[in-house]
């Protein structure tokens, strides 16, 4: 991903600032159980909130960012950066401090052999797997879970209720999803469900539209996508748990968040739920409202502004 000289310079300066902060207060990180008056998020430092390059993650980034600002934390926003493969490295290098993540997807990225399914087990596995410099904060009840979805017409025609039911037709079907979906999941679907699709097509955040217009027959649509209801799509059940818990969970650089920042982020997570996030996404994805405005309204309604 290309970046301008100015962006590179800002990222380098941010990384140096975070590194200096870590050196000066390495023994007082709130995620390690101590107080953190000088850690990132405190006076004189900046928390850099990033997001992936899809609308919901931008919205979540804006919610967490504005919640931090409301508590007096200095914040820089770097939204719409790219996929997890890019973002994770940015967090490790210190170019980002906070990233709204999805715990199950993050674990699958770090450990392709992980078998944890529940929120508690996924988070326990993440805590063991993440490098010492990174940590997760409280998971939200809000869950944006992967699904394999089909149209109502296809579900009725082929009697599709679960992912297992695709086995007889997968060879005739084109499956769509984010550009990285194939590399992440193709082998898993073969191993767990015996599925070999005719074609994998990158559809990014237009997957629901691609199902509706028939250019794909199966799509990786997320449970908070309001187009599931709008287009009458059918998310297939996942009896073998390929898709585990996918709770919205802040991933943070430990050196970059102090007690104030941690509390602000956890307060947001405690208020988010799946139904509420789906309603917010309707405003963003269908009504085309600005994510920062939608985020501001939600924070005000929940007393976090």
Q: Which of 24-38, 43-57, 63-77, 85-99 has the weakest average pLDDT?
A: 24-38
Q: Average pLDDT, stretch 172-177?
A: 97
The answer on 198 and 151 residing in a single domain is yes
Q: What separation in angstroms does the CA of 247 have from each of 106, 123, 243, 305?
A: 10, 10, 12, 23
The answer on 231 and 163 residing in a single domain is yes
Considering only CA atoms, give the Rg of the chain: 20
Is the pLDDT assigned to residue 58 strictly greater than 90? yes
- Residue 204 confidence (pLDDT): 74
Nearest by Cα to 214 from 157, 159, 263: 157
What DSSP string describes 71-135?
TT--EEEEEEEE-HHHHHHHHHHTS-SEEEEEHHHHHHHH-TT----SHHHHHHHHHHHS-TTEE
Is the pLDDT assigned to residue 17 strictly greater than 50? no
On whether residue 181 sits in a domain, the answer given is: yes
On whether residue 285 sits in a domain, the answer given is: yes
d(CA 212, CA 227): 10
Residue 251 contacts residue 99 (beta carbons within 8 Å): yes
Write out pLDDT tens, residues 133-149: 999 999 999 999 999 99
The answer on 59 and 38 residing in a single domain is yes
- Residue 179 confidence (pLDDT): 87
Q: Phi and psi (nearest 5°) for 200? A: -110, 125
Instruction: Report the CATH number at residue 194.
Output: 3.40.190.120
Nearest by Cα to 127 from 224, 234, 249, 217: 249
Question: The whole model's pTM is what?
Answer: 0.74
Q: Print the domain residue range for 188.
A: 146-235
Residue 160 contacts residue 233 (beta carbons within 8 Å): no
d(CA 178, CA 221): 9
The answer on 67 and 24 residing in a single domain is yes
Write out pLDDT tens, residues 85-115: 899 999 999 999 999 999 999 998 999 888 8
On whether residue 240 sits in a domain, the answer given is: no
Nearest by Cα to 231 from 206, 212, 204: 212
Structure tokens at 88: 């994770």
Q: Phi and psi (nearest 5°) for 93? A: -80, -10
């Amino acid at each position: 991903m290309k970046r301008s000289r100015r962006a590179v310079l800002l990222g380098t300066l941010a990384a140096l600032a975070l590194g200096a902060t870590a050196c000066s207060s390495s023994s007082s990180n709130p995620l390690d159980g101590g107080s953190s008056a000088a850690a990132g998020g405190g006076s004189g430092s900046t928390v850099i909130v990033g997001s992936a390059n899809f609308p919901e993650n931008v919205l979540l980034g804006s919610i967490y960012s504005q919640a931090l600002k409301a508590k007096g934390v200095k914040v820089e926003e770097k939204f719409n950066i790219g996929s997890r493969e890019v973002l994770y490295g940015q967090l490790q290098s210190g170019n980002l401090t906070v990233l709204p993540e999805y715990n199950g997807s993050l674990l699958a990225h770090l450990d392709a052999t992980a078998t944890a399914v529940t929120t508690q087990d996924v988070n326990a596995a993440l805590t063991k797997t993440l490098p010492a410099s990174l940590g997760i904060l409280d998971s939200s009840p809000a869950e944006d879970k992967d699904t394999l979805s089909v149209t109502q017409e296809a579900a009725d025609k082929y009697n599709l209720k679960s992912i297992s039911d695709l086995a007889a037709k997968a060879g005739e079907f084109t499956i769509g999803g984010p550009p990285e979906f194939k590399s992440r999941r193709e082998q898993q679907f073969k191993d767990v469900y015996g599925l070999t699709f005719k074609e994998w097509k990158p559809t990014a955040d237009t997957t629901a539209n691609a199902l509706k217009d028939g250019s794909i027959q199966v799509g990786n649509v997320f449970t908070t996508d309001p187009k599931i209801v709008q287009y009458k799509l059918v998310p297939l059940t996942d009896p073998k748990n390929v898709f585990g818990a996918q709770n919205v969970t802040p991933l943070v650089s430990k050196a970059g968040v102090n007690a104030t920042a941690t509390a602000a982020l956890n307060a947001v997570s405690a208020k988010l739920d799946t139904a509420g996030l789906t309603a917010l996404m309707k405003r963003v994805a269908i009504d085309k409202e600005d994510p920062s405005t939608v985020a501001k309204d939600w924070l005000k309604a929940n007393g976090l502004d």
